[in-house]
């Protein structure tokens, strides 16, 4: 039978601050164990937390970006439980009064339409450390470098209807936080991770079923597969007449399955209460206005502007805006080149080269100004599009700017029709078979002949001119 699937996601996203949320220890990833955990992160006796204003600013940025309400007064609470990676025996989080309430994230629904998923809340909290099991037989080693790293936990309403939608939601939030520059979003390093609450019910108007929570989903692929497995697992149980146990399950990517974490369930009672070491966080209009003023143009608005102002296709605008550096790069190129040509190049050659070399936009050897000057040479017909690709590769390889590469390689386009005619004559003479086919009505052969001429000119002939001359000679001649 088919089930109505109900999914809510909790995303933990590290905020890109330089120091921790309640201490001045650095947040850089990958340091020697316990070298980035100070007295406060280690929870030494008598030490106290002081809130990092930047973490507040970044959380407010996120809230504004999803159209949420920013709480004028929010409160930190302690979530009490014992775990070796949690030094104080409590996590400082927000419970009754989170900093961000409401807001929406737009996803592409399974039916292809756009749908807004409501965000319940996003709250500030501190990350825990890590337990390491390698290198020890019957012990675990605790590294608290990550302890105290600022997080926002973004909680969605249970409005997501499939594993694919869940992955799309996660991707959209990921794109957004990176676009806003509030998180590096690095999933391998644990900067962006997701828990999924999944339940099934017979139909959309039936009451909600018992849910399970799948923890530790740190890739788009995993979230989709883990939820698919969980839907299947629950459906099997329900169809066999069984009932779902409310529990936490862990996704094991190696085994590609979820398994119960009953150990973690044992008598959980977090005893939340307001943290007496911290005072209410009061955010006034001036603070919010300041954050709003410093915010970049939001992706949705930018997409619409790309379509309206630059005449881009919606799909191309969507891809460009998906990554803010890409969108910025495009705009810089489009500032001095024909926008559609710029979009084609940024999404084509440029993206391909980035992907091939695993390079970030910021580190690309061809910057926006360089690419714009290359496109200018196409526009003024100095070089052909074909030749431009060679020039681009040479520029990427560090062989110089567009003009010097063009000169060095002798790629200046041949626009002189006398010179083109000479090459065309050579090609016609050398391709009697194709010439005959064309004359017999096989139009498509013209492409081959143009290609031969371009090849003979080493890409330098103007393809439009070649086409014209060829047709002249083959039909008129």
- Please give the residue ranges that form the binding site for other proteins (CB under 8 A): 17-19, 24-27, 32-39, 42-56, 75, 78, 80, 82, 84, 87-90, 131-133, 135-144, 250, 261, 263-264, 266-267, 269, 271, 273-274, 276-282
Choose among Mg ion, Zn ion, other proteins, none what residue 50 binds, the Cβ cut-off being 5 to 8 Å by kind: other proteins
Runs of H (alpha helix) within 323-416: 324-334, 339-345, 351-357, 368-379, 385-396, 402-409
Q: For Mg ion, give the closer residue by CB, 10 or 421.
A: 10
Taking the least distance from each CB to Mg ion, the nearer of 10 and 338 is 10
Pairing state between β 248-252 and 212-217: parallel
53/348 with CB nearer other proteins: 53
| Tokens read off for 276 | 């007496």
Residues that bind Zn ion (CB under 5 A): 153
In contact, 330 and 367? CB cutoff 8 Å: no
Least Å distance, CB 141 to other proteins, is: 3
Q: Which is nearer to Zn ion, 10 or 318 (CB)?
A: 10
Please report how close the Cβ of residue 23 comes to other proteins at its closest, in angstroms.
Answer: 9
State how far the alpha carbon of 224 is from the alpha carbons of 198, 218, 294, 306, 401, in Å.
12, 11, 35, 31, 44
Residue nearer to other proteins on the CB measure, 28 or 397: 28
Instruction: Rank residues 62 and 90 by Cβ distance to other proteins and give the closer one.
Output: 90
Contacts made by residues 391-400, CB under 8 angstroms, sequence distance 24+:
392/345, 392/349, 392/353, 392/366, 393/353, 395/365, 395/366, 395/370, 396/353, 396/365, 396/366, 397/365, 398/365
User: 17: how many CB neighbours lie within 10 A of its CB?
Assistant: 20
Q: Which residues contact 115 (CB under 8 A, 6 or more apart)?
A: 106, 107, 108, 109
Residues between 10 and 39 with contacts to Mg ion, criterion CB under 5 A: 10
Contact 42, 33 (CB under 8 A): no
CA of residue 145 relative to chain centroid, distance: 26
Residue nearest to Zn ion (CB): 153
Q: Which helix (H) or strand (E) holds 226?
A: helix 220-239
Q: How far is the CB of 209 from other proteins (least distance, A)?
A: 23
- Least distance from C-beta 153 to Zn ion, angstroms? 4
Q: How far is the CB of 358 from Mg ion (least distance, A)?
A: 34
Task: Choose the stretch contacting Mg ion; rule: CB under 5 A; options: 2-10, 23-31, 206-214, 381-389.
Answer: 2-10
Contact residues for 288 (Cβ-Cβ < 8 A; gap 6+): 60, 64, 70
Which lies closer to other proteins via its Cβ, residue 47 or residue 474? Answer: 47
Binding segment (CB under 5 A) for Mg ion, from list 8-16, 40-48, 106-114, 168-176: 8-16
Partner interacting with residue 136 (select from other proteins, Zn ion, Mg ion, none; CB below 5-8 Å by kind): other proteins
- State the minimum distance, in angstroms, from the CB of residue 264 to Mg ion: 13
Q: In whole angstroms, how close is the CB of 225 to other proteins at the nearest point?
A: 20
Q: Which residues bind Mg ion (CB under 5 A)?
A: 10
């Amino acid at each position: 039978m088919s089930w109505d699937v109900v999914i809510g996601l909790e995303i933990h996203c590290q905020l890109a601050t330089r120091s921790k949320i309640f201490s001045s220890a650095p947040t850089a990833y990958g340091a020697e164990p316990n070298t980035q955990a100070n007295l406060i992160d280690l929870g030494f006796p008598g030490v106290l937390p002081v809130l990092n204003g930047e973490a507040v600013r970044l959380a407010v940025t996120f809230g504004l970006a999803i159209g949420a309400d920013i709480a004028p007064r929010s409160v930190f609470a302690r979530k009490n439980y014992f775990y070796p990676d949690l030094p104080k025996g409590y996590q400082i989080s927000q419970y009754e009064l989170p900093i961000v309430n409401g807001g929406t994230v737009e996803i592409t629904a399974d039916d292809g339409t756009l749908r807004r998923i409501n965000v319940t809340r996003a709250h500030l909290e501190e990350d825990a450390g890590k337990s390491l099991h390698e290198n020890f037989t019957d012990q675990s080693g605790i590294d608290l470098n990550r302890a105290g790293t600022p997080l926002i936990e973004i909680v969605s309403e249970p409005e997501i209807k499939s594993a694919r939608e869940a992955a799309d939601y996660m991707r959209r939030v990921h794109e957004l936080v990176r676009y806003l520059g509030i998180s590096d979003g690095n999933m391998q390093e644990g900067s962006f991770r997701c828990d999924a609450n999944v339940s099934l019910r017979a139909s959309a108007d039936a009451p909600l079923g018992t849910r399970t929570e799948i923890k530790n989903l740190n890739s788009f692929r995993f979230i989709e597969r883990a939820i698919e497995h969980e839907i299947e697992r629950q459906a099997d149980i329900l169809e066999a007449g069984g009932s779902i146990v409310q529990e936490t399950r862990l996704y094991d990517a190696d085994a590609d399955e979820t398994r119960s974490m009953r150990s973690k369930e044992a008598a959980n009672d977090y005893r939340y209460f307001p943290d007496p070491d911290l005072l209410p966080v009061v955010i006034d209009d001036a603070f919010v206005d300041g954050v709003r003023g410093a915010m970049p143009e939001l992706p949705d608005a930018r997409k619409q502007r790309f379509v309206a102002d630059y005449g881009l296709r919606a799909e191309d605008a969507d891809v460009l805006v998906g990554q803010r550096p890409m969108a910025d790069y495009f705009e810089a190129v489009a500032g001095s080149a024909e926008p559609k040509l710029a979009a084609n190049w940024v999404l084509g050659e440029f993206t391909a080269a980035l992907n091939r070399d695993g390079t970030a936009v910021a580190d690309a050897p061809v910057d926006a100004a360089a690419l714009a000057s290359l496109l200018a040479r196409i526009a003024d017909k100095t070089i052909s599009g074909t030749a431009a690709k060679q020039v681009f590769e040479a520029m990427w390889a560090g062989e110089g700017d567009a003009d010097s590469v063009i000169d060095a390689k002798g790629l200046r386009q041949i626009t002189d029709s006398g010179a083109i005619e000479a090459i065309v004559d050579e090609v016609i003479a050398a391709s009697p078979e194709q010439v005959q086919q064309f004359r017999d009505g096989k139009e498509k052969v013209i492409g081959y002949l143009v290609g031969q001429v371009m090849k003979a000119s080493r890409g330098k002939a103007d393809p439009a001119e070649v086409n014209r001359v060829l047709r002249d000679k083959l039909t008129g001649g």
